[in-house]
Amino acid sequence: MLILGLAFSLAACNSQSESSAIKTPQGESVTATLFPTPRATSTPEPAQTQAASRTASGLEASTASPTPLASQTATPTTQVCLERVGRIETGVVRSNLLRLPMEFRIYLPPCYNQHPKARYPVLYLVHGQNYNDDQWDRLGADETANRLITGGEAPPFIIVMPRDRNWSQPTEDNFGRVVVESLIPLIDANYRTLAEREGRAIGGLSRGAGWAIHLGLSQWELFSAIGAHSLPLFWTDLAHLREWIAAIPPEALPRIYMDLGDKERPQIAKSANYFEQLLTELGIPHEWHLYPGYHEEAYWKLHLEEYLRWYAEGWQEP
């Protein structure tokens, strides 16, 4: 896998914040600070005015266990919602497994506060190498989600965008472990999520796509859909892919989406093609798209709406 240089910037902290603490399954105490992000409100043009698509809101943190999916309220597709935009909040997870805290952004759909009994599916989106948790935001994930949701083309859903600071392999980078053991429980405890596999998907671009495959297959009990956009596999995962796939019950195979630019870097193209051929060989259903384009943000932004539509399809009511 191509190793790129490191570049990141620290997210600014809002002075009005709330802290929450949970115990992970391993007994580790994890704390998080959640920062409601005040923004002006307006109706944005698609993928144009990010700052205008956010509003301020208080957050009541809770350490209660999430309600089982069977008793949760379905996604509120039939309820009236007059809001045209959702909002983005920020948070920080502090874990002993990481040298530095894990920052994250969370998109809450329009009328999240107006429908207090509704629960929402969650899409975890991981950024690429040399970027941070603002990448999907800059590409227009929130504006696109606003447009699809308010236009009735997708059910309301939450997007969580965590920050990976370390460009090592999963054997040396605890990012994935903290997502599974700390971030997901924290999100489910503090936000109204559909806190079961059927209500959770993971996707990523570039290195983030590698994390999506790594977590989506090795932790298949947590995710019902995996999106890999311009995928470079982690080389430490190569020896485990077959066993991970074999361990998934046939009826529980996740939905899988892959796409690649036809002018992709040779090493990444080889990696993505290898995985797609492995899925084909094993008879694993998946979507595979080869589009014109390079390994760059212009390519991912061009296909962002298609990505979000695909994730949301899994949560559409029959």
- pLDDT of 187-201, one tens digit each? 999 999 999 999 999
Q: Write out pLDDT tens, residues 129-140.
A: 999 999 999 999
In a domain, 73, yes or no: no
In a domain, 36, yes or no: yes
Partners of 287 in beta bridges: 257
DSSP one-letter code for 259: E
- pLDDT, residue 78, reads 55
In a domain, 104, yes or no: yes
Tell which wins on pLDDT, 78 or 273: 273
Which residues, 6+ apart, have CB-to-CB distance to 258 below 8 Å?
227, 228, 229, 231, 272, 275, 276, 286, 287, 288, 289
Tell which wins on pLDDT, 36 or 14: 36
287-291 and 255-261 as β-strands: parallel, antiparallel, unpaired?
A: parallel
Q: How many CA atoms lie within 13 A of 280 on its CB side?
A: 9
Average pLDDT, stretch 38-67? Answer: 33
Assigned token pair, 305: 């709406």
In a domain, 26, yes or no: no
In a domain, 17, yes or no: no
In a domain, 8, yes or no: no
Task: CATH number of the domain at 48, please.
Answer: 3.40.50.1820
DSSP one-letter code for 217: H
Asked whether 39 and 87 are in contact (CB, 8 A), the reply is yes
pLDDT band at 149 (very low <50, low <70, confident <90, very high): very high
Asked whether 232 and 213 are in contact (CB, 8 A), the reply is no
Domains held by the chain: number: 1
d(CA 131, CA 232): 16
Tell which wins on pLDDT, 73 or 272: 272
- pLDDT, residue 163, reads 97
Q: What is the mean pLDDT of the chain?
A: 83
Residue ranges making up the domain that contains 131? 31-58+80-313
Residue 233 has pLDDT above 50, yes or no: yes
In a domain, 14, yes or no: no
Asked whether 76 and 116 are in contact (CB, 8 A), the reply is no
In a domain, 24, yes or no: no
A 10 A CB-CB count for 3 gives 9
